[in-house]
């Protein structure tokens, strides 16, 4: 269906032909190819919901984006489009360079700079960042809290490191920190995001496209941590 893309994390999409309810699809941006549009559900919508639905972006503010996975790269593209200053963290200097090419304001290698929260504060003249996209959980979230400015926002998106998060309560109270859990987004948000992608000229970052008979190779590539989305074309 050239004019539609899936609107939620429905199972069964690794197929040549699928049947869904009408309300499970939304119009895709006409500016994108089928391959590009296929990357939007989940990753793009999660980033959009955290940055444009659960809150409102304010040009000139600073957002810290953890990692260079699918959600993070869409977040970086949205940040650039919204006029935000994006700080990106990663353990790969090569990926950080590519992040700068996509519009990152500053980058931090958290392997060589384990105190990345202090590095982020230094980049903002000691004030801290306005928004952190938390992808790891566990002890990592404590550093996210420390990186935040007063009235900052912590969007908990991923739990790659641990399923539990604990914080000292005083910094929350003193700095009026807002914590929000993010899990994809609803249909209306998806429609607004697609309209924005078209209006802003955003194009998804795609690492590689595989054929339908190359699924094992695609999954192996995914395990290696690509820069951009892996797409399986059914035809």
Q: Could you tell me which residues come within 8 angstroms of residue 50 by beta carbon, excluding any fewer than 6 positions away? A: 75, 133, 155, 157, 180, 182
CB-CB contact of 9 with 30 (8 Å): no
Three-class SS of residue 162?
coil
184: which 2 tokens?
């994809």
Surface-to-core class of residue 235, CB atoms within 10 Å of its CB (0-12 exposed, 13-18 middle, 19+ buried): exposed
Q: Note the pLDDT of residue 2.
A: 45
Asked if the 58-181 domain carries CATH number 3.40.50.300, the reply is no
Q: How many whole angstroms from its chain centre is CA 217?
A: 24
Q: Note the pLDDT of residue 192.
A: 96
How many Cβ atoms from other residues are within 10 Å of residue 185's Cβ?
24
Three-class SS of residue 151?
strand
CA proximity to 50, closest of 203, 153, 165: 153
In this prediction the pTM is 0.91
Q: Note the pLDDT of residue 77.
A: 98
Q: Note the pLDDT of residue 20.
A: 78
Name residues of the chain where pLDDT drops below 50: 1-2, 4, 7
Return the domain boundaries, the chain.
4-43+186-233, 58-181
Fold of 4-43+186-233: Quinone Oxidoreductase; Chain A, domain 1 (3.90.180)
How, if at all, do strands 25-27 and 4-6 pair?
A: antiparallel
């Amino acid at each position: 269906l050239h004019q539609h893309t899936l609107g939620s994390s429905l199972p069964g999409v690794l197929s040549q032909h699928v049947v869904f309810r009408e309300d499970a699809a939304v119009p895709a941006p006409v500016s994108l190819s089928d391959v590009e549009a296929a990357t939007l559900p989940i990753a793009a919508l999660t980033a959009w919901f955290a940055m444009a639905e659960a809150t409102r972006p304010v040009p000139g503010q600073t957002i810290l984006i953890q990692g260079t996975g699918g959600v993070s790269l869409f977040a970086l593209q949205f940040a650039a489009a919204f006029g935000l200053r994006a700080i990106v963290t990663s353990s790969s200097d090569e990926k950080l360079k590519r992040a700068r090419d996509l519009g990152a304001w500053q980058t931090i290698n958290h392997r060589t700079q384990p105190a990345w929260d202090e590095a982020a504060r230094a980049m903002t003249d000691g004030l801290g960042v306005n928004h952190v996209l938390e992808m790891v959980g566990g002890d990592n979230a404590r550093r996210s809290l420390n990186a935040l400015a007063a009235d900052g926002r912590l969007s908990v998106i991923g739990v790659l490191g641990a399923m539990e998060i604990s914080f000292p309560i005083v910094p929350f109270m003193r700095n009026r920190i807002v914590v929000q859990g993010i899990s994809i987004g609803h249909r209306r948000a998806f429609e607004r995001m697609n309209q924005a992608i078209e209006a802003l000229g955003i194009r998804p970052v795609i690492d590689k496209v595989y054929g339908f008979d190359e699924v094992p190779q695609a999954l192996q590539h995914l395990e290696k941590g690509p820069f951009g989305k892996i797409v399986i074309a059914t035809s």
